[in-house]
Amino acid sequence: MCYIKNILIIFFFVLILIHAKAQKATDTFKLYFDINIPELSSNAEKKINLLIYNDKIINGSTIMIIGYADYLGRELHNKKLSMERAENVKNTLVKYGINPADIKLCLGKGQITRKGLIDKQGFPTDRRVDIVVDNIIKNEKLPVKTKKDTPIVITRIDKTPVNAVVVTDLNEISKFSVGTTILLKNVYFPPDRHVIKAESYETLEKLFQVLKQNPKLKISIEGHVCCIIDAPDAFDIDTGEPILSVNRAKAIYDFLIKKGIEDDRLFYTGFGKRKPIIANEKTEQDAEKNRRVEIRILENG
């Protein structure tokens, strides 16, 4: 009898564990602001980019954005300030590819009251926006649809459609709207390395000139690799790190920085093989399509 009872208890706890694993995984990410400033700092924007890159915030989640202010200033002003901060975070998430429909709540709670505590500088931890994320789905390896026409419509693994435009003249970049992804043609790297090949510099010089002539243009440089299995990214033999797509994007970022483009206009990231054009490469042509660098328009005048 005791034996049966113990079995039932174990079975009961197993059911609890299974149920717990089926629940939503809720995370809260905090972004901090300067005194009386509603705009995100460069570091806060980069943090959002990294959260999305690392799949901490993904499409299909339930996202809530809640803004706050400290008690400096008038209550009505702080209410408006906290709402502006929340709206700016929402717009940045959308800019980096999050579906607006997944953002279920965006509000400003106003100032945080601290009874009995007085500080002329306020409390930095109260000047913030919380991003609350319920991750209820996982990325699925879905078949990737492509078209032969330009632009190419890529159905990404995270189910986010992105227009990857192939342009013959990089001067056209300045004409595209925010969110457009553009394939950088004729940019090459040696196998398993992030060193830029000499024949790539003509294209990169043109990209520099476009950025120089359009000072309000901001871009994200995004690397992709091919031909890897059971790994998020490829191995970089130059650094000994398994982040080849990131390092290739950073190499282009570094080139543009050295040429004089301001770092707050440039972001870089790598997606490994998580966002392929061809899901399963069977030919060198398939591999070449996945082995690429894209730029995405973040701001454009």
Confidence band, pLDDT 50/70/90 cuts, at residue 72: confident
Q: How far out from the chain centre does Cα 124 lie?
A: 25
Is residue 9 one of the residues assigned to a domain? no
pLDDT over threshold 70, residue 26: yes
Q: Which two tokens stand for residue 250?
A: 């950073």
Percent share of the chain, pLDDT over 90 = 32
Is residue 11 one of the residues assigned to a domain? no
Is residue 2 one of the residues assigned to a domain? no
Same-domain status, 237 and 182: yes
pLDDT in tens, 109-153: 999 887 766 666 778 888 999 999 986 544 333 333 333 333 333
Last residue of a domain, one of 110, 135, 160: 135
pLDDT in tens, 252-263: 999 999 999 999
pLDDT over threshold 80, residue 89: yes
Same-domain status, 157 and 294: yes
Is residue 71 one of the residues assigned to a domain? yes
**CATH number of the structural domain spanning residue 130:** 3.30.1330.60
* Secondary structure letter of residue 63 according to DSSP: E
**Total residue length of the chain:** 301
Looking at the chain, the number of H-run helices and the number of E-run strands are: 6, 10
Q: In what order do the strands lie in the sheet with 62-69?
A: 25-32, 128-135, 62-69, 103-111
Confidence band, pLDDT 50/70/90 cuts, at residue 265: very high
Helix (H) or strand (E) holding 48, with range, is helix 42-53
Same-domain status, 294 and 184: yes
Based on the structure, what is the number of domains in the chain?
Answer: 2
Is residue 146 one of the residues assigned to a domain? no
Last residue of a domain, one of 135, 166, 198: 135
Same-domain status, 126 and 263: no
Q: What is the mean pLDDT of the chain?
A: 79
pLDDT in tens, 220-238: 999 999 888 777 888 888 8
Supply the range of the domain harboring residue 67. 25-135
